[in-house]
Amino acid sequence: MGESVDGLLSAYDYHLPEGAIAQRPLADRAAARLLVLDRAADHVEECAFREIGAFLRAGDALVVNDTRVIPARLRARVVEAPRRVGSSVARAPDAAPARSVEILLLRETGPGRWRALVKPARRAPVGAALGFDGGPSGPALTARVVEAFAEGERGLVFEDPAALPAHVAAHGETPLPPYIRRAPEPADREDYQTVFAREPGAVAAPTAGLHFTEALLGDLRAAGVAIVPITLAVGVPTFRPLREERLDDVRLGPELYAISEAAAAMLRATRARGGRIFAVGTTVVRALESAWNDALGGPRPGRAETTLFIRPGHRFRAVDALVTNFHLPRTSLLVLVAAFAGRERTLAAYRHALAAGFRCASYGDAMLIL
């Protein structure tokens, strides 16, 4: 027998007009549109995001990702390139004009050591030294390329790691995704953060949370809904496009998540009293499903890495409802949503949203799946 269509990446493709991808956020976050998909009734309805409280009730828990996006995109120049001498590599100053590279810091792997995405990676082989501009006085800091990985990733060692945070704060750019076809603007530093962002470390926003305002969260609390923060530092595994046609061949890289004792206790209490768990975003789903323990009746507290790839056939144990944005075709995010709602039902909802003029991707509108 042939492989089920649900197991093929091509089954998660659809036509996404470029004009449907939101390039800027709305001034009023909660004014975004919300498409509500009721799985049991196989029905969709449209409303404003600020009306989401109508679909929650006292005793439910809304789980949010409190990770904070760092201005992780930096500009650098190759100030020293390796030179081959026989079978060894010797370091020598680059005689050619300094070549610029773009650096996206991904995660700290040790004191002064970072894994980063470098573009173009061919300009930064192992042994190259990178200078990060600090103004007329020259490079503010330098880093050495010490490892090369697939997909343009590099291991960097900073010569003065204590200077890095200030340089990132002063010169780093908001790492907007490539489908936002404009340069980052000063307003993006806060627009591309959720109102509950607390824990620095993400290089992409958990975008389903961008629609919430402090006022809306206050209304939900007043209605008896618990707001439960957990953390997943959004990195490359979340936003990198899939290339494997067979979903069985997909392997996601690790991302760090953390669930506090208090959050775990709140979620155990929610389930014990019959409340529902609403996950705000696919990152929350992955963290909760990775940490869930049936014997505990909730997630295991603590810090861990997840490589979980959720695809159709996954048995959801932690999540009863999902708040999510409209994702690009052929991505692990869309596959996760399809696993939760059903592939055909998900794609039908996307067709409805596009026909109705919903805005897609990071700064776009939202979907609630019940």
Residue 240's pLDDT band (cuts 50, 70, 90): confident
Mean pLDDT over 38-44 rounds to: 96
What class is the 73-171 domain?
A: mainly beta
**Does residue 45 come out as left (phi exceeding 0), alpha (psi in the -120 to 50 range) or beta?**
beta
Quick one: angle between helices 332-341 and 343-355, nearest 10? 110
Give domain limits for the chain: 5-69+188-369, 73-171
The C-alpha atoms of residue 15 and residue 266 are separated, in whole angstroms, by 41
Mean pLDDT over 41-49 rounds to: 97
pLDDT digits (tens, 9 = 90+) for 241-281: 899 999 999 999 999 999 999 999 999 999 999 999 999 99
pLDDT digits (tens, 9 = 90+) for 318-329: 999 999 999 999
Residue that has been written with the tokens 């109102």 in this structure = 195
Match domain 5-69+188-369 to its CATH number in 3.40.1780.10, 3.40.50.720, 1.10.760.10, 3.40.50.300. 3.40.1780.10
Contacts (Cβ under 8 Å, ≥6 apart) of 233? 67, 107, 199, 201, 202, 255, 256, 257
**pTM to 2 decimals?**
0.92
Contacts (Cβ under 8 Å, ≥6 apart) of 225? 53, 56, 57, 58, 59, 60, 61, 62
Query: How much is the mean pLDDT over the chain?
Result: 93
Q: What is the pLDDT of residue 139?
A: 61
Helix (H, G, I), strand (E, B) or coil at 246: strand
